[in-house]
Amino acid sequence: MRVAETGSFSAAAADLGLTQPAVSRQVSALEEHLSIRLFHRTTNALALTLEGEQIIAMALKVIDAVDTLNEASGAEAANAMGRVRLALPAPLGLYVSDRLAQLLEQHPGLSVELLFREEPSDLIGEGIDLEVRLGLVSDSSLMCRRIGWTTAFLCAAPSYLERRGVPKSPAEVNTHDCICYSRAGDGRSWLFSDGSDEIAVRISPRLVANSALAVHRAVLSGGGVAVLSHILAYPDMEEGRLINALPEYPPVRLPINLVYPSRKNLPLRVRTVLDFLVEAVRDDPFMAS
């Protein structure tokens, strides 16, 4: 399982506290026992075979069954136990990181692995228990729960606006130096709202990054305008380091969705983190409604 999740024998060995040869031997022994090849191996890459993917899917069902048995026997009745892998966009990940200490203190047997992702993950293949996705979730095989809404601002540094001027309408945005971060399926357009309708603006970005944190830094340095999550932008707006450049036309809000594999009897460790995320989002007025 850990080799499949990390994509390498050495990374799995480091996580498990074993040597790389020991992990390799265990996988080879399992392949010999099952009479199938689980991984395609090259000098530069490691990938699951079709049979390996099928074995992983079956193994996850076994893990779920063990989790359910533990709960039924009362082993986890008081406290959640085990690791939860949680994937989420970087801004929300920072927000959650600030609040995780209390959860972990309440559940000494629980551990959380945060994966900052701007694009959807392969939950089953990567062994991810929960993922936060923004916008429409098209995969009908996943359980999906809307837990809130995004709030964003079109922001720029005072130095940039002094140099280039403040846009008066969405139509003027594409005349500015636009900085954006990429997500799967994201076109080069920004959506704004006038209170009743959506206004799409095609942009030709001067800078594109696959990290919202990198975009935030570039905007702070005066590099241009960008649509930033309130989690990143609002503290800087309060201190005057960033300015809401288009307050009458805010960016369109997107649903914040929590997705997880369609499994019966979610383990207590996963339900505990799920409930924590729901409450954390509801505690922020920018995301709650």
**What CATH number is associated with residue 234?**
3.40.190.10
Packing angle of the helix pair 268-282, 90-97 (nearest 10 deg): 100
Note whether residue 32 is domain-resident. Answer: no
**Residues 83-104: b if buried by 16+ CB within 10 A, e if exposed:** ebbbbbbbbbbbbbeeebeebe
Note whether residue 44 is domain-resident. Answer: no
Write the pLDDT tens digit of every residue in 172-209.
999 999 999 876 445 588 999 988 899 999 998 999 98
Q: Looking at the structure, tell me whether residues 142 and 161 fall in a common domain.
A: no
Q: Please state which of the ranges 59-73, 165-179, 200-214 shows the lowest mean pLDDT.
A: 59-73
Q: Evaluate whether 131 touches 260 at the Cβ level (below 8 Å).
A: yes
End-to-end CA distance of the chain: 39
Q: Looking at the structure, tell me whether residues 83 and 94 fall in a common domain.
A: yes
Write the pLDDT tens digit of every residue in 39-51.
887 776 778 888 8
Q: Looking at the structure, tell me whether residues 235 and 202 fall in a common domain.
A: yes
103 vs 5, higher pLDDT: 103
Q: Which of 183, 190, 184, 198 is nearest to 245 (CA)?
A: 190
Q: Evaluate whether 150 touches 88 at the Cβ level (below 8 Å).
A: no
**Residues 53-70: b if buried by 16+ CB within 10 A, e if exposed:** bebbeeebeeebeebbeb
Mean pLDDT confidence for 226-232: 95
Structure tokens at 114: 């945060």
Note whether residue 99 is domain-resident. Answer: yes
Question: Is residue 287 classed exposed, middle or buried when 0-12, 13-18 and 19+ CB atoms within 10 A define those classes?
Answer: buried
Please tell me the distance from the alpha carbon of residue 81 to that of residue 110, in angstroms, as a whole number. 5
Q: What is the pLDDT of residue 185?
A: 45
Whole-number percent of the chain with pLDDT over 90: 54
Structure tokens at 258: 């929590």
Note whether residue 176 is domain-resident. Answer: yes
Write the pLDDT tens digit of every residue in 118-143.
788 888 888 899 999 998 888 778 88
Would you say the C-alpha torsion 228, 251, 90, 148 has a positive or negative sign? positive
Q: Looking at the structure, tell me whether residues 222 and 104 fall in a common domain.
A: no
Q: Looking at the structure, tell me whether residues 124 and 138 fall in a common domain.
A: yes
Please tell me the distance from the alpha carbon of residue 55 to that of residue 57, in angstroms, as a whole number. 5
Look at residue 158 and give its three-state secondary structure.
Answer: helix
Amino acid, single-letter form, for residue 165? G
Q: Looking at the structure, tell me whether residues 135 and 202 fall in a common domain.
A: no
Per DSSP, 124 falls in state H
pLDDT higher than threshold 70 for residue 104 = yes
Q: Which of 136, 132, 149, 143 is nearest to 86 (CA)?
A: 132
Q: What is the pLDDT of residue 71?
A: 56
Residue 23 pLDDT grade (very low, low, confident, very high; cuts 50, 70, 90): confident
Mean pLDDT confidence for 212-230: 95
Range of the domain at 184: 152-244
